[in-house]
Amino acid sequence: MRLGLICLCLFFVAALMLSTGSARAQSDGSATFEALLVWGTNDAKTDPKFKPADPALAEKLKKSPFKWEHYFEMHRENVKLKLNEEQTIKMSRNCVISLTNLKDNQIKFELFGKGTLANTVTQSLPKGQLLVTGGDAENSTAWFVVLRRVE
Partner 1 sequence: MTEEQQLKLQTFFDKELPEKEAREIASWLARDADATALHAELRNTRQALKGFEPELKVPESREFYWSKIKREIERSAPARAPAEQVSLFTSLRRFLLPLGAVATLALVGIITLHQFGGGVVRPVPVNAILADAGAFTYRDESQGMTVVWLSYPAEKKLADSPSPDTLPAK
- Which residues contact partner 1 (rule: CB under 8 A)? 1, 3-4, 6-8, 10-15, 17-18, 21, 37, 39, 47, 60, 63-65, 74-75, 91-95, 111, 113-114, 116-124, 128-138, 143, 145
From CA 31, how far away is CA 106, in angstroms rounded?
A: 10
At its nearest, how many Å lie between partner 1 and the CB of residue 105?
A: 10
CB within 8 Å of 115: residues ≥ 6 apart: 96
At its nearest, how many Å lie between partner 1 and the CB of residue 133?
A: 4
At its nearest, how many Å lie between partner 1 and the CB of residue 62?
A: 10
Name which of 29 and 75 has its Cβ closer to partner 1.
75
Asked if 95 and 112 count as a contact pair (C-beta separation under 8 A), the reply is: yes
Name which of 79 and 91 has its Cβ closer to partner 1.
91
At its nearest, how many Å lie between partner 1 and the CB of residue 84?
A: 17
Query: Parallel, antiparallel, or unpaired: how do β-strands 70-81 and 51-52 relate?
Result: antiparallel
From CA 40, how far away is CA 32, in angstroms rounded?
A: 25
Count helices and strands in the chain by DSSP H and E runs:
2, 9
Q: How many residues does the chain have?
A: 151
